[in-house]
Every structure is written in structure tokens, then in C-alpha cells.
Amino acid sequence: GAVVSQHPSWVICKSGTSVKIECRSLDFQATTMFWYRQFPKQSLMLMATSNEGSKATYEQGVEKDKFLINHASLTLSTLTVTSAHPEDSSFYICSAQRSGRRETQYFGPGTRLLVL
């Protein structure tokens, strides 16, 4: 159990377009989901914490108007990269905490974004 999916797995887009990434918990309810970004040969950096039904909490240095997060249900959170630029090219990974079991995060397979 505890499977998290992400869609799409790969995105290539032109500079200036917006890209939406979905994160779904397939077999459990997730009150809280997290979004991470990982640049090549670097570690995962937390971008924001997404709580179902409320506004996301962004980490310092992450532009909330650029990275729009919506967590409208207990199984789905979306990250929209608005007006993407080449420097936004990265590996985006989401994770989900099972409701009532906060000690473990279950990770999605990640989404590779390439902005040309």
C-alpha cells in the first residue's frame, strides 16, 4: 500500500508556458503533501507544504505566485509552474503523508521538467 503517482513523468515546454503537475495518493488519504525540487547532482529541497483545503506553506525563497499549489482533495495535489523559464528546469517530486500517520512520507516517482 501507500502508492503515490505523479503525472506527467516528463514535460518539455517552451519558455513562458505554464505546466501543471499532479500528485495523487492512490490507496490512502493524504491530509498533507509536500513538493520538492531537485537540481542535477543536488539534494531534494522542500518547496512547499500542501494541506488539504487550505493554502500551501512555502519555504523561504520559493515564489508562491510562480509555483501555484492546490490541494483540493485528500488524494490530489497539483503544482503549477507559471510562465516557466529555463531556470525552472528541474526534477519535481511530491510526497504524501497518510492521514493520522505523519511520521512517514511516501514519494511519487517524480516529474522531469525541461523548459526550452
Applying CB under 8 A, the residues found at the interface with another protein are: 32, 34, 41-46, 49, 91, 93, 95, 97, 102-107, 109-110, 112
Nearer to another protein, 37 or 75 (CB): 37
For the chain, give the number of residues: 116
To another protein, the closest distance from the beta carbon of 34 in angstroms equals 7
Can you tell me the distance from the alpha carbon of 12 to that of 38, in angstroms, rounded to the nearest whole number?
A: 17
Cβ of residue 101: shortest distance to another protein, in angstroms?
10
The minimum distance between CB 94 and another protein, in angstroms, equals 11
CB of 80 to another protein, least distance (A): 21
Decide whether 96 or 115 has the Cβ nearer to another protein. Answer: 96
The nearer residue to another protein, 5 or 83, going by C-beta atoms, is: 5
Annotate 47-108 with DSSP letters as a single string: EEEEETTS--EEPTT--TTTEEEEEEETTEEEEEE-S--GGG-EEEEEEEEETTEEEEEEE-
Cα 47-49-50 angle, rounded to 5 deg: 125
Q: Which three cell numbers stand for residue 25?
A: 495518493
Which DSSP state fits 42?
S
If the CB atoms of residues 7 and 112 are measured against another protein, the closer one turns out to be 112
